[in-house]
Amino acid sequence: MQKKGGEAFFRGVLESMQSVYLNRNPTAKAILDLVHSVENNSLCYDHLAFRTFGVNGYGIDSLAQFFLDYGYTQRDELRFPGKKLRALWFSPPSDSFSDDGSGMNGPLPRIFISELLVDQMSPQTQEIIRKYTESSGNGQKYAALASSLGHLTWDTPLYSEFQQLARESEYAAWTLVNGHALNHVTISAHRLKTHLKDIKKLNRFLEESGFRLNSEGGVLKVSPDGLLQQSSTVADSISFQFSDGITESVPCSYIEFAERLVLPQYENLPHTEIKEFHRRDGFEVASADKIFESTSKEQVSRAGA
């Protein structure tokens, strides 16, 4: 079916964000190819995630506006005091957009955007973050554009600045070199068709295929109600040329998997009638806290990358 102008453009932007992501992250690409081949080329995304610097308009809002303009609704806030982060998630428009395709052409994903609470960082770290966000002019207005082009809106940093940030917040260091790039896509496990719809089987299949999963707090992250189950790979690394000529490997993006179980009040619905809104929605702070570690030095070096 022909898609309306606005929707075709919106999905085109998501496709561009995804192609930047697939070009930079061979593990994510290999896993998507593998799951596609088992699933006869059809899978959907549960959510997409982005990271930002919460300072001078560069925070969550800088990316959220694009999604709000295309019909998304702001939902809950999640707080991570230990990591000095907060996040918001957004649900897709429920009615207007067709959902008969796969990937970015399938049902529209939730959006998860986090931000570093820059004011709570040390003066040295704040100075570096302010220097780069200021160097980007009005870059905060073009976060979605930067993400779809795979371009930083600020100057290339010095290696020593990356290291300073990494000592204090691995999230900050990641954001300095990856900017608004897609941090991960999440495959919706329960909407797969084969045995892989069971996230435990999906995890085993991926590990047997040679992929390493983020082991922080255990591979499977389960919400207290038991209804949201998540796992993720360890991020790929990419060689990054800093402005002082130093080239070092830095963490890039990862891929996540989520199984949302049917809510207790819909337990007796016939299987064929179960829709996404009958399932556990939202995110879970304790699980998210561990999923953030998918780009940590500890997990990335464990993967022997």
- Per CB under 6 A, 21 contacts ligand OOG: no
Binding mask 223-252 for ligand OOG (x = CB under 6 A): -------x----------------------
3-state SS, the chain, equals CCCCHHHHHHHHHHHHHHHHHHHHCHHHHHHHHHHHHHCCCCCCEEEEEEEEECCCCCCHHHHHHHHHHCCCEEEEEEEEHHHCEEEEEEECCCCCCCCCCCHHHCCCCEEEEEEECHHHCCHHHHHHHHHHHHHCCCHHHHHHHHHHHCCCCCCCCCHHHHHHHHHHCHHHHHHHHHCCCCCEEEEEHHHCCCHHHCHHHHHHHHHHCCCCECCCCCCCEECCCCCEEEEEECCCEEEEECCCCCEEEEECCEEEEEEECECHHHCCCCHHHCCHHHECCCCCHHHHHHHHHHHCHHHHHHCCC
183 interacts with, out of ligand OOG, Ni ion, none, CB within 5 to 8 A per kind: ligand OOG
Q: Which of 49, 176, 182, 255 binds Ni ion (CB under 5 A)?
A: 49
- CB-based burial, 98-113: b 16+ in 10 Å, e otherwise: eeeeebbebbbbbbbb
Q: Which of 21, 58, 72, 112 binds ligand OOG (CB under 6 A)?
A: 112
- Per CB under 5 A, 216 contacts Ni ion: no
* Region near Ni ion per CB under 5 A, out of 21-29, 252-260, 270-278, 296-304: 252-260
- Residues in 40-79 that interact with ligand OOG by CB under 6 A: 49, 51
Q: Which of 91, 114, 153, 188 binds ligand OOG (CB under 6 A)?
A: 114
CA distance 164 to 146: 25
229 interacts with, out of ligand OOG, Ni ion, none, CB within 5 to 8 A per kind: none
Q: How many of the chain's residues bind Ni ion (CB under 5 A)?
A: 2
- Rounded to a whole number of angstroms, the minimum distance from the CB of residue 300 to ligand OOG is 13
* Region near ligand OOG per CB under 6 A, out of 23-31, 63-71, 154-162, 289-297: 289-297
- Residues in 92-111 that interact with ligand OOG by CB under 6 A: none
- Residues in 120-179 that interact with ligand OOG by CB under 6 A: none
- Rounded to a whole number of angstroms, the minimum distance from the CB of residue 287 to ligand OOG is 6
* Region near Ni ion per CB under 5 A, out of 45-53, 84-92, 171-179, 261-269: 45-53
**Contacting positions for Ni ion (CB under 5 A):** 49, 256
**Contacting positions for ligand OOG (CB under 6 A):** 49, 51, 112, 114, 183, 230, 256, 283, 287-288, 291-292, 294
